[in-house]
Amino acid sequence: MSATTDLTEPAVSPAEPAAADTTRRRVDLGRFRELSLVPAILVLGLIGFIVSPAFLTADNLIGVAQQSTELSLLVLATTFILISGRMDLSLESTIGVAPVIAVWLVLPTSGGRFNGLGLLPEWTAVPLCLLVGALIGAVNGFLILKLRLNGFIVTLGALTMLRGLQVALSQGQSIVELPSSFTYLGKASWLGVPAAIWVCALLFAIGGSTLAWLRHGRALYAIGGNAEAARTAGIRVDRIVWIVLILGSVLSAFAGILYSGHYGSLSATQGSGWIFQVFAATVIGGVSLNGGKGSVFGALTGVLTLQLVVNVMTLAGVPPLWNQFLNGAIIIVALVISRFASGEKQE
């Protein structure tokens, strides 16, 4: 009995096993795509090693990692937002304006170079900063999801407006007298490695696991892939996207805290122009601008690639004035490589 069914099964659908075979092979390629920048990083390491003995030292590598932390947090936020099929350009202003507002609220009204309102005790600076971030994300979400405005333009407007708010509040100057709680994370070192690196690693691990193993993380892929299908599957699309936008802005505000601590001051141009690098790192890391595709790990390799290029070039004695040119060139080259490595058109 079973023998006959075994015989007739393939006869009914001879094409299907073959189709399944090819799809399995393609899935494997898709998995490798996440790692497509790893060879590039290794090659960069090799070049760095050849170019300068200073490259492969703990100090230099930790330096590169620390410089990547702030950018990488924005990349993490952008990865989440892009996977769910949205965009938030205002992240680069949030990184500056959230700390400024927090500091403005807690610094005393007189006595310093920069006078705040002194409304709240100094220890509230960090939670305040995160709260401001959440608020910015919530407002963006309201405009995009409730009023159904175009997300690109809304966040472009927010980018400009928040940058302006920062300049107005800080009177265009750097703020150097920061509360100590505010600068702790950016300055501290745990086990010989800057605290910022530990925190970033932890956040990336949490973010990556959420996207890989949690239902609500997988929901982002569904929403970015086909929002209508996600809705019919019972996913609360708007609510989840809203939460993602809020989380993104909070991450960005947190990056602002690390950045101010790292450099010990809050400059008026903090984060200005970063969004291009953020998008570049995210996209060469394999996250699709159309949503529904990509991974946190891929995005991380994107950041590291960009930072390593700059580091290697600096060590090689290329004048820093060429950095911008090289950054741009790397983005285009990386896109071309991933276009042909994956065989998929990018639109």
The two structure tokens encoding residue 137: 């994300």
State the DSSP H helix or E strand holding residue 193, giving kind and residue range, or none if neither. strand 193-194
Number of neighbours of residue 308 by Cβ within 10 angstroms:
22
Which of 286, 276, 289, 283 has its CA nearest to residue 328?
276
Please identify, using beta-carbon distances, which residue of 173 and 290 lies nearer to another protein. Answer: 290
Q: Whose Cβ is closer to another protein: residue 30's or residue 39's? A: 30
Task: Report, in Å, the least distance between residue 280 CB and another protein.
Answer: 22
- Distance of alpha carbon 64 from alpha carbon 311, whole angstroms: 7
Closest approach, Cβ 153 to another protein, in A, equals: 18
Positive or negative, the CA dihedral 342, 282, 241, 162 is negative
Question: CB of 216: closest distance to another protein in angstroms?
Answer: 6
Residue pair 264/187 in contact (Cβ under 8 Å)? The answer is yes
Nearest to another protein of 100, 219 (CB atom):
219
- Rounded distance between C-alpha atoms, residue 66 and residue 72, angstroms: 10
- Whose tokens are 């175009």? That residue is 150
Output the smallest distance, CB 145 to another protein, in A. 18
What is the identity of the amino acid at 339? R
Task: Considering the complex, state which of residue 324 and residue 346 has its C-beta at the smaller distance from another protein.
Answer: 346
Residues near 207 by beta carbon (within 8 Å), at least 6 away in sequence: 76, 79, 80, 296
Q: What is the dihedral of CA 184, 187, 188, 193, to 10 degrees?
A: 150
Minimum CB–partner distance for residue 287 and another protein (Å): 12
H helix runs in 188-263, sequence order:
195-213, 215-225, 227-232, 237-263
**Residue 28 C-beta: closest distance to another protein, Å:** 10
Residues that bind another protein (CB under 8 A): 13, 16-17, 19-20, 22-24, 26-27, 30, 209, 212-216, 218-219, 221-222, 225-226, 228-230, 232-235, 292-293
210 contacts 105 by C-beta, under 8 angstroms: no
Question: For residues 36 and 267, which CB has a smaller minimum distance to another protein in the complex?
Answer: 36
In angstroms, what is the minimal distance from the CB of 83 to another protein?
10
Q: Which C-beta is closer to another protein: that of 243 or that of 315?
A: 243
CA angle, 158 then 164 then 166, to 5°: 100
What is the nearest approach in angstroms of another protein to the Cβ of residue 231? Answer: 9
Comparing CB distances to another protein, the nearer of 84 and 277 is 84
Token readout for 168 is: 């107005």
8 A C-beta contact, residue 78 and residue 296: no
For another protein, give the closer residue by CB, 290 or 324. Answer: 290
State how far the Cα of 70 lies from the Cα of 196, in Å rounded to an integer.
8
- For residue 72, which of 299, 324, 275 has the smallest C-alpha distance? 299
Residue whose CB is less far from another protein, 35 or 318: 35
Give the nearest distance from C-beta 282 to another protein in angstroms.
Answer: 17
